[in-house]
Amino acid sequence: MCVGMEHFTIATVAEKSPDFRRVLWTGEHTQLVIMTIPPGGEIGEEVHEDIDQILTFVSGTGEARVAGEKREVVQGDLVVVPAGTKHNFVNTGPNPLVLYTVYGPPEHADQAVHRTKEEADAAEEAGEDEPPTS
């Protein structure tokens, strides 16, 4: 585990990543992940039973679907998804929807990179995207 400072110019790092999902940092209690959702794409409806998630949108436009509610999201917006809450985020614009998210505790394998949603789904189904255990 890193004991030094981790520093990211997060909006720039997120904007430069073409990958659907890239884990930037994993700690004992939280995890920082950047995502790029292509036009017409989505994260996919899901529920994290024991994980809180905070998503901050860097660019693009989309729709947050959380606990049965829908709301437009744009650059600078932040959405909190408490553990056990059904959610999905859909790109509704002509450009990529770019965001970073913090999971607590970690949700994905440390340093995981998934170029597409299909690749991410396959890794999850194969058990290859498990968070580190303490």
Do the domain assignments include residue 43? yes
Residue 67, helix vs strand vs coil: coil
Mean pLDDT (whole number) for 8-23:
94
Kind plus residue range of the DSSP H or E element containing 81: strand 78-81
pLDDT (tens digit, 9 = 90+) per residue, 69-78?
999 999 999 9
Do the domain assignments include residue 81? yes
**Cα separation of 100 and 58, whole Å?**
7
pLDDT (tens digit, 9 = 90+) per residue, 97-108?
999 999 999 999
Do the domain assignments include residue 7? no
Do the domain assignments include residue 64? yes
Return mean pLDDT, the chain: 94
Q: Which domain holds residue 78?
A: 26-126
Task: CATH number of the domain at 106, please.
Answer: 2.60.120.10
**Cα separation of 5 and 100, whole Å?**
19
The model carries a pTM of 0.92
Do the domain assignments include residue 4? no
How far is C-alpha 128 from the geometric centre of its chain's CA atoms?
A: 17
pLDDT interval class at 22 (50, 70, 90): very high
Do the domain assignments include residue 95? yes
Do the domain assignments include residue 14? no
Do the domain assignments include residue 40? yes
> What is the count of structural domains for the chain?
1
